[in-house]
């Protein structure tokens, strides 16, 4: 079975997380700088890691509406889909994941400065794990 990739897109950085081959667990993978090279780097990861599904975090507002950040995530997902037409791209509600990731890292003894490099990866891991967990309920 192919792997799933989770993305936490942001203005400065994009966190990546990768599922195991059984699609049970998500693991932090890497952080890429947001910008023109990001799509190419992510496309390379998709090819190298045999990814057939990408779960892009959709940062909805607390009331469920879509603001500017959600529109950017949708545009990013659309651009990525053009590069990898055979890969399934899913937008997944990610409300509170960055906050939860910060809390988890803080509880693990990391301060904000120490967490900066991995916070986006952990948020991507939480997005992907949430989606993976939802899929286990749908399986026969």
* More confident position, 16 or 103: 16
Mean pLDDT for 39-57 is: 97
* More confident position, 118 or 14: 14
Lowest-confidence segment of 17-21, 53-57, 107-111, 126-130 by average pLDDT: 107-111
Q: Please, what are the domains in the chain? A: 3-138 (3.30.420.140)
Buried b (16+ CB within 10 A) or exposed e, 36-72: eebbeebeebbeeeebebbbbbbbbeeeeeeeebbee
105 vs 66: CA distance, rounded Å: 27
98 vs 107: CA distance, rounded Å: 14
Task: Quick: pLDDT tens for 117-137.
Answer: 687 898 899 899 989 988 876
- Identify whether the C-beta of residue 62 lies closer than 8 Å to the C-beta of residue 95: yes
Band the pLDDT of 60: cuts 50, 70, 90: confident
* More confident position, 36 or 45: 45
58 vs 92: CA distance, rounded Å: 5
Question: pTM (2 decimals)?
Answer: 0.86
């Amino acid at each position: 079975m192919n792997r799933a990739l989770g993305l936490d897109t942001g203005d400065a950085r994009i966190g990546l997380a990768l599922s195991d081959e059984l699609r049970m667990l998500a693991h932090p993978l890497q952080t890429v700088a947001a910008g023109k090279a990001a799509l190419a780097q992510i496309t390379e990861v998709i090819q190298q890691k045999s990814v057939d599904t990408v779960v892009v975090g959709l940062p909805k507002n607390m009331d469920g509406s879509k603001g500017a950040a959600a529109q950017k995530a949708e545009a990013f997902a659309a651009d990525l889909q053009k590069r990898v037409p055979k890969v399934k791209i899913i937008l997944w509600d990610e409300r509170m994941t960055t906050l939860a990731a910060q809390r988890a890292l803080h509880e693990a003894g990391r301060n904000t400065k120490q967490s900066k490099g991995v916070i986006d990866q952990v948020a991507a891991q939480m997005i992907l794990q949430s989606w993976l967990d939802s899929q286990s309920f749908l399986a026969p």
